[in-house]
Amino acid sequence: MSRRWKKAGLYALLAVVMAIVSVAFWSNQLQGRETWDYSQFIQSVEDKTVVKVSISDDRSRALVTSSDGSQVWVDIPPNDPNLINTLVDNNVDIAVLPKSNERFLLKAAGGLSLIGIFLGCVFFFLRALLAES
């Protein structure tokens, strides 16, 4: 096989590995706790199986604690004027989660780790290519 095809194959392999690592990293970030649909959340509140709701500071998500102690995330629609009234009417504790930099730090660490992996792969492949010549 010619040297040019070896280089092309190594770079193609590098691109595939980087794509797989990126997809695996970002899909793991999106996982975590179980999530509920908003309708399932409201139904559980009305069934009195929700004990506490901790709403994010921007009112986009809520961490819901059910009566069995399990916690789930719910995405809250932006313009639901009845949410607080529904929670109060069903004696659910309401809290506001503090603003967190956790997501920013996680994204920054993920980006830096991907750059590190990429640079490590490039260094390894270039070293291997230079050793052949």
The whole-number pLDDT of residue 120 equals 80
Give the range of the structural domain holding residue 66, as residue numbers without chain letter. 33-100
pLDDT band at 27 (very low <50, low <70, confident <90, very high): low
Place of tokens 């997501």: 103
> What CATH number should be reported for the domain holding residue 81?
3.30.720.210
Distances from the Cα of 80 to the Cα of 15, 39, 48, 86, 95, angstroms? 44, 12, 20, 10, 17
Average pLDDT over residues 101-123: 72
The whole-number pLDDT of residue 131 equals 72
> How many structural domains does the chain have?
2
Whether 71 and 112 share a structural domain? no
Mean pLDDT of the chain: 80
pLDDT beyond 80 at 113: no
**Separation between Cα atoms, residue 70 and residue 123, nearest integer Å:** 46
> What digits encode the pLDDT tens for the residues 89-99?
999 999 998 87
Whether 66 and 94 share a structural domain? yes
